[in-house]
């Protein structure tokens, strides 16, 4: 029996099987209470009521399990583990899904129903990426239903993702990256805002996601070994207008080695940071007080502000404003691969779950490297052929 906690209602809940009806279908009841002890009491009460044939309210059988009920369970168990913004996105899209399926008996929803729903989204003009997100949500929900024996099979499993045009990755070459970072340093000197420059340099030199950079603490940096521990990310909840700290995208901790140049920059910034701490206008919240990249107001650094600052640098350097902060991550990976670094090392630095993600994302680089390898092999064979002649 799985016990869940509903953050919204502040209650523990579970779904129990009381027995079987005349058709041999399970009779189930959702039970909730404020504490786990009260929940156990409620479970016992319902089991006894069933045995005695007394019911205070209608009990739903497996055959009558509605999609809305399964969605509620799935949201409480699965979505609660996701990052705040991802959770809000899933909840918002689930509201759209419920408009079509809420009152349907879950085990009567078939592949055709789901395909018609997804096709309808495409007809509305939603992008392939967005439609695929809806497909992923439905697939995850029905997989949950299969595990809990609410349905026999997942009707989404045979529906293929909508093919989307692969977006071309934007990167800078080494000379452009150097010029960009010089621009960041120059603007920092003018603004006396060295946190922006340092955070962007960390992103460029490590390939970390900017949400991971902004969640760093000094305790995460080992200056002696030249290693950064990446285990958290900072997100902003646009709905509740607050910052939260969570795990990385894959909820994995990784360790990224850093160059002596970046170590010196971080040490230099730490001196600026110690001065900033004395100038804070407000005391940071307890969970944020040890962050490296705080603002003078004592708050975490907001990505949108950093984005505007980043665009100021691009304009000054005559670079395309379409180059995003996230593209520093792509630039880092691309330059490493062009230097001949093993893709497995790049994967570990970026924190990709699987090396296939890395290889697929940077196909343009690996194809170039394969051409170089072929040319090198051909030159080697030509050399030996000449000798033999």
3-state secondary structure the chain: CCCEEECCCCEEEEEEEEEECCCCCEEEEEEEECCHHHHHHHHHHHHHHHHHCCCCCCCEEHHHCEHHHHHHHHHHHCHHHCCHHHHHHHHHHHHHHHHHHCCCEHHHCCHHHHHHHHHHHHHCCCCHHHHHHHHHHHHHHHHHHHHCCCCCCCCCCCCCCCCCCCCCCCCCCHHHHHHHHHHHHHHHHHHCCHHHHHHHHHHHHHCCCHHHHCCCEHHHEECCCCEEEECCEEEEECCCCEEEEECCCCCCCEEEECCHHHHHHHHHHHHHHHHHHHHCCCCCCCCCCCECCECCCCCECCHHHHHHHHHHHHHHHCCCCCCCCCHHHHHHHHHHHHCCCCHHHHHHHHCCCCHHHHHHHCHHHHHHHHHHHHHHHHHHHHHHHHHHC
Q: Quick one: pLDDT at residue 78?
A: 75
Q: Quick one: pLDDT at residue 57?
A: 45
Which positions ≥6 away from 20 have C-beta within 8 Å?
26, 27
Confidence of residue 55 (pLDDT cuts 50, 70, 90): low
pLDDT of 360 over the 80 cut: no
- Contact yes or no for 266/200 (Cβ under 8 A): no
- The mean pLDDT value for 82-87 works out to 68
pLDDT of 217 over the 60 cut: yes
Q: What pLDDT, in 10s, does the model give residues 154-188?
A: 999 999 998 877 677 889 999 999 999 999 999 99
pLDDT of 357 over the 90 cut: no
Confidence of residue 370 (pLDDT cuts 50, 70, 90): low
Q: Quick one: pLDDT at residue 318?
A: 95
Q: Quick one: pLDDT at residue 374?
A: 61
pLDDT of 30 over the 70 cut: yes
pLDDT of 381 over the 80 cut: no
Highest mean pLDDT, choosing among 23-27, 48-52, 81-85, 240-244: 240-244
Average pLDDT in the chain: 84
Q: 22 versus 280: which is more confidently predicted?
A: 280
For the entire predicted model, the pTM comes to 0.66
- The residues spanned by each domain of the chain are 174-365
pLDDT of 69 over the 70 cut: yes
Q: Quick one: pLDDT at residue 64?
A: 65
pLDDT of 25 over the 70 cut: no
Question: What's domain 174-365's architecture?
Answer: Orthogonal Bundle (1.10)
Q: Quick one: pLDDT at residue 100?
A: 93
Query: Residue 238 has which token pair?
Result: 């646009």
CA distance 328 to 341: 17
Q: 115 versus 250: which is more confidently predicted?
A: 115
Taking the CA atoms of residue 223, residue 226, residue 230 and residue 231 in that order, the dihedral angle to the nearest 10 degrees is -60
Q: Quick one: pLDDT at residue 206?
A: 96
pLDDT of 58 over the 50 cut: no
């Amino acid at each position: 029996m799985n016990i869940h906690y509903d953050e919204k209602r502040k209650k523990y809940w579970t779904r129990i099987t009381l027995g079987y009806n005349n058709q041999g279908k399970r009779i189930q009841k959702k039970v909730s209470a404020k504490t786990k002890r009260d929940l156990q009491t409620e479970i016992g009460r319902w089991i006894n009521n069933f045995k005695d044939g007394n019911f205070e309210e209608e009990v739903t059988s497996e055959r009558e399990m509605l999609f809305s009920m399964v969605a509620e369970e799935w949201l409480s168990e699965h979505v609660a583990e996701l990052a705040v913004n991802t959770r809000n996105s899933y909840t918002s899209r689930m509201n759209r899904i419920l408009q079509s399926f809420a009152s349907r008996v879950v085990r009567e929803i078939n592949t055709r129903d789901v395909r018609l729903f997804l096709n309808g989204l495409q007809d509305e003009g939603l992008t392939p990426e967005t439609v695929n997100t809806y497909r992923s949500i439905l697939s995850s929900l029905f997989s949950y239903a299969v595990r809990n024996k609410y349905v026999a099979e997942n009707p989404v499993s045979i529906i293929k993702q909508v093919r989307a045009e692969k977006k071309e990755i934007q990167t800078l070459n080494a000379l452009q990256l150097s010029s960009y970072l010089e621009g960041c340093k120059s603007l920092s000197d003018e603004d006396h805002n060295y946190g922006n420059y340092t955070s962007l340099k960390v992103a460029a030199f490590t390939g970390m996601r900017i949400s991971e950079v902004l969640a760093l603490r000094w305790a995460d940096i080992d200056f002696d070994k030249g290693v950064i521990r990446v285990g958290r990310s900072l997100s902003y909840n646009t709905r509740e207008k607050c910052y939260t700290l969570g795990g990385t995208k894959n909820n994995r901790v990784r360790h990224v080695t850093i160059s002596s140049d970046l170590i010196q920059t971080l040490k230099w910034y730490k001196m600026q940071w110690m001065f900033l701490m004395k100038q804070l206008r407000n005391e940071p919240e307890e969970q944020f007080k040890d962050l490296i990249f705080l603002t003078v107001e004592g708050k975490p650094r907001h990505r949108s502000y950093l984005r505007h600052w980043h665009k100021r640098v691009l304009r000054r350097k005559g670079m395309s404003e379409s180059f995003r902060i996230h593209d520093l991550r792509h630039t880092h990976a691309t330059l490493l691969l062009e230097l001949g670094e093993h893709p497995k090392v790049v994967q570990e630095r970026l924190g990709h779950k699987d090396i296939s993600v890395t290889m697929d994302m940077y196909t343009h680089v690996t194809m170039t490297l394969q051409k170089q390898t072929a040319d090198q092999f051909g030159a080697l064979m030509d050399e030996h052929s000449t000798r033999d002649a």
